[in-house]
Amino acid sequence: MLFSSFSFLFVFLPLTLAAYWLVRNRFDSISAGQSVILMASLVFMAASTWLDLALLLTSLAVNWLFLNGLARSENGRRKAVLAIAVTFNLGFIGVFKYADLFADTLSNVMTVAVPEPDLPLPLAISFYTFQLIALLVENARHRWPMPQAKMMALFFSFFPHLLAGPLLWFHEIRPQLERLRPLATETFFPGMMMLSIGLFKKAVLADSLAPLANSYFSGLEKGALPGLIDAWAGTLSYTFQIYFDFSGYSDMAVGLALLFGVSLPVNFYSPYKAASIIDFWRRWHMTLSRFLREYLYFPLGGNRRGTVRRWINLMLTMTIGGLWHGASWNFALWGGAHGLMLAINHAWRGVGFALPRPLAWAFAFTGVVFCWVLFRTHTLAAASANFAGMLGINGIAIPPSYAAALAKLMTVIPGIYVSGAGVFRPPDLILLAICGVISLAMPNSEQLVRDRDGLLLRSWPGPAFCGVLATLGLMSIFHPVSFIYFRF
């Protein structure tokens, strides 16, 4: 079930809120409130497929047993239990998510046909498995008391963050879930504002960019050689699509949780305003970044073992982080490219010469945009064609309707040619410009709603503005497009 769908917004959410209000506000029962949210979350998961729900519950049940084992074990044995538990989780995700990739890679390397299991990718498996591993590791480290089964199920299935995060630690949300608040206007109001902004970003902006990006990259995979304008417009379409799609989802998740009085962490903070790659990763998918830091970068040694080792650690962390996104080598390449840029960024900092901020921003943004090509394309040939287009090697294609108007220009500038296939039109470019202004020059959702004295909470134009955003969002959900991160 998509957040940006009629069934969710007009059936599931109102029914869940009504049931929660009844038991939590009218009958003042925290336990019943928890049960309502738990049941609603299981229904939410089952609305995808029963298999997804069954896998989630199986994973939770097995990990609950591991947690029991950890709680009862002493030091040496605890490490062994933890190792088995982590191996189980990696195996679980490995079978369902990476088996095809391994089989395919083996086939290519060994030139022997290795059969691919071709299992369906369970919804949210990357998210809940990552969080389960974190719970196991933290419990082993800190010897926290064994969580109640109900609280554990509630945390992992909590529908606002179930499918695509934010990635959470059990212990940071547990206090809020244990003392679930009644519905109250002071949390309901900012929740609705956040939900409105998220819906607008997802349904209006990201879903408008989706056909442009899909059509462009599908042409690329079929062998098209894009011109300069198309290559940049196509890549920027995806750059803004994935940002508005994922940050829109995160805003909606944060907003939905706030409706029930639960505060989730910030996940995006204007990442495209970043003036360095280091800064970018402090602003993009922030909850993933902290997990990568805690469970990959630090265990690998972080920056404690010299400069070269730090660079290697960065590359490794980001490459594995890339693979976490999807079972395909292009994601590893994307992660590796970011790791390399991070290493270069650190090396540059070591030189001690700071670029002027606009120039630093231009470098960082261009690097991020180029990397999205690796993320979105499935073959090196398509990625190369796109890079060639972005560098102007394929010339500049213009739509046939502009041929007459630009005839003189075509005689002056070599490489301009008329093409009818996959050429971006002025309205598409206007849409891209609007998305650029919103992501680069406007305050972000956190600043608007959740920062102290948030801009939209100060006076009546704020909520009125959000009302219009909500209207535009609701007008755009007739053909909802799935969230990009649902595939991860």
Partner 1 sequence: MFATASIPELTTVRPATASRYLAIWALTLLLSWLVFAGFIAVVDPYDFLGSPRITGFNASKYEMSEFGRIAKLREVGRQKPQALILGDSQAEGGLRSSTLAELTGERAYNLGFLGARIEETKVAFGHALQVAPVRTAVLALDYVAFEGGVDRAKLLQARADHAPWRELRDFAEFTLSMKALVAAGRAVLFNHLNTPPSHDYEGDWVNHENIPINDNATPVENKPPADSAYAAFDKICALAREHHVDLRMFATPVHRSFGQDMASRAIWLRRLRAIAAQNGLKIADEGSDAAFNADKRNFFDRGHFVATAGDAMLKRLFANSDRAGGDKTR
Q: How far apart are CA 176 and CA 181, in angstroms?
A: 8
Q: Which is nearer to partner 1, 122 or 160 (CB)?
A: 160
Least distance (Å) between residue 49 CB and partner 1: 21
Cα dihedral sign for 81, 85, 90, 94? Answer: positive
Q: Which residues pair with 416 in a beta bridge?
A: 396
Q: Which is nearer to partner 1, 82 or 286 (CB)?
A: 286
Per-residue b/e over 165-201, b at no fewer than 16 CB within 10 Å?
bbbbbbeebbebbeebebbeeebbbbbbbbbbbbbbb
Q: How far apart are CA 438 and CA 330, in angstroms?
A: 29
Which amino acid, residue 172? E
CB of 125 within 8 A of CB of 96?
Answer: yes
Per-residue b/e over 234-252, b at no fewer than 16 CB within 10 Å?
bbbbbbbbbbbbbbbbbbb
- Chain position carrying tokens 């992660």: 335
Phi, psi angle pair for 422, to nearest 5°? 60, 30
Q: Which is nearer to partner 1, 101 or 385 (CB)?
A: 385
- Interface residues with partner 1 (CB under 8 A)? 166, 172-173, 181, 184-190, 192-193, 196, 203-204, 222-224, 258, 261, 263-267, 278, 281-283, 286-287, 289-290, 292-293, 297, 303, 314, 342, 346, 399-401, 418-421, 446, 450-454, 457, 460, 462-468, 470-472, 474-476, 478
Least distance (Å) between residue 373 CB and partner 1: 20
Structure tokens at 260: 């029930």
Q: Which of 142, 325, 338, 479 is catalytic?
A: 325
Least distance (Å) between residue 278 CB and partner 1: 6
Task: Give the number of C-alpha atoms closer than 13 A to the C-alpha of residue 430, restricted to the C-beta side.
Answer: 3
Least distance (Å) between residue 378 CB and partner 1: 17
Q: Which is nearer to partner 1, 175 or 358 (CB)?
A: 175
**Residue 338 known to be catalytic:** no
Q: Which is nearer to partner 1, 124 or 292 (CB)?
A: 292
Q: How far apart are CA 100 and CA 114, in angstroms?
A: 9
Q: Which is nearer to partner 1, 290 or 309 (CB)?
A: 290
Least distance (Å) between residue 132 CB and partner 1: 19
Q: Which is nearer to partner 1, 146 or 475 (CB)?
A: 475
- CA nearest to 127, candidates 210, 4, 239, 45: 45
Least distance (Å) between residue 61 CB and partner 1: 28
Q: How far apart are CA 229 and CA 450, in angstroms?
A: 38
Measured CA to CA in angstroms, residue 83 lies from 137, 139, 147, 149, 183 at distances of 9, 13, 20, 22, 42
Least distance (Å) between residue 227 CB and partner 1: 13
DSSP category for residue 396: E
Residues with catalytic roles: 325
